[in-house]
Structure 1
Amino acid sequence: MFPALTLSPRLVRREAFKGMFSYGKHSSVMAAANLISIQSPATVLGYVRGPSDVAFFALPWRLLMYTTEAFAKVGQITASVTAELDAKRDSRSVWSIAVVTNRHCLALFMPLAIFLTFYSTPLLTVWVSPLFGSASGPLLPVLVVPFLFAIAGQFNSGAVLIGQAKHGPYAYGIVAEMILSVAALLLDALLGSTRPQLVRAARRRRADRGGVLQHRVLRRVGRAVAPAGARPGAGFRAAAR
């Protein structure tokens, strides 16, 4: 059907395969780490608090994640243009495209970030329900800040590294960030579940300490009063001291 198309194992070059594997392994690690980082908060929250809190968290989280699709499309173009400029050894243009695209993406997300910061609760109240508005509305201003600076303002920096095939350290940095995030979430969940027990133990320890102190005081008073009680009127004089 296609006479010019020739498929043969003899045409496979080991160097080309090694180059594809060297480039693809970092991309695969980065994609897997990003996926775990995105899903880990809801997973840990569901394990600790239950499915209802996951729903309250997932709504503002997904609402912000949908906005990243625009940055992902810009990042694909940035990576392609960067690969072309890097092949031409035009480092100044590579630096310029990273700065310009990050600034434009930040400016693109800024109006939405301002709106969600001040009107998140009324928006979710009218759009979903008053229950979701009161529970999920306060989360949006907290989540908007990292989305504004870390995703909107820096997404194209990763795309530039991908275009230059220098995203290996970036991928391992995302892995380290993912491990630290999961560890912090698990530690906070563990401390949150054991905090009431620690408070009760501290109160019990203070109560026991107070009882022991009271017992010692009464015992000393008893020792001081008991010998004096053998003589009439001496007990009252010892107590008066």
Structure 2
Amino acid sequence: MRVDQQPGYILHARPYRETSLLLDVFTRDHGRVGLVARGVRRERSRLSRGVLQPLQPLLLDWVARGELGTLIAAEVASAPFAFDGETLFSAMYLNELVQRLCARNDAHPLAFVAYAQCLARLANAEPAGWTLRRFERELLADLGYALVLDRDAAGEPLLPQQDYAYDPEAGARSANIDARAPRVSGAALLAFGADRMPDATQQAQLRRLMRSVIRHHLGGELNAWTWARPAVPRTTDSA
């Protein structure tokens, strides 16, 4: 099967044999796919290695054969994003999240759109922590793990002034039931569900909540958590 002009982003690239690259790519219509860019590490190659950079919007052509496809062509789809410092770490975290949570060859078009929007927001210097929480929420929803953010586990409306313990399988419960679950205010959950940026204290609660939920679905930590800052409320956002 040949695929032409497929929007995609390179999540990870590593050397493959003597002259090639092995690419992990997130695409709009085919999900996460593995591609071999043959001969791209030679001095003279019909594929430009400079184009094959992570975190940049690309249009990709490939031929799918079994587990790995062969990249035929790649071109830049739009102006490249610029990342450095905190935004680069945040973008790297996005890539690891997609790699760990999305199965190969399983399309998630809504998550793809959310990924592209998240990169654009990071590149435009929007608050990193809130931007990442929004992407985590949309990715989990597209994978079938949507958070319930308006009602508790018993089906009752959330109360803004009440604290809850969030169970990834059941939803928000009374904070006294499970001391091990992250505590989060009803106000924070309601703001999250309404896509309304909460205050710094509530953002710290949501960060702990999403870390716990993602750990639950992965069965372990992400490598990116080793560089993530502690969730200390402050005037500027953190990842």
Answer whether TM exceeds 0.5 for this pair.
no
Higher relative contact order (CA 8 A, sep 6+): 1
TM-score, normalised to structure 2, is: 0.22
Which has the larger Rg? 1
More helix by percentage: 1
TM-score (norm 1): 0.22
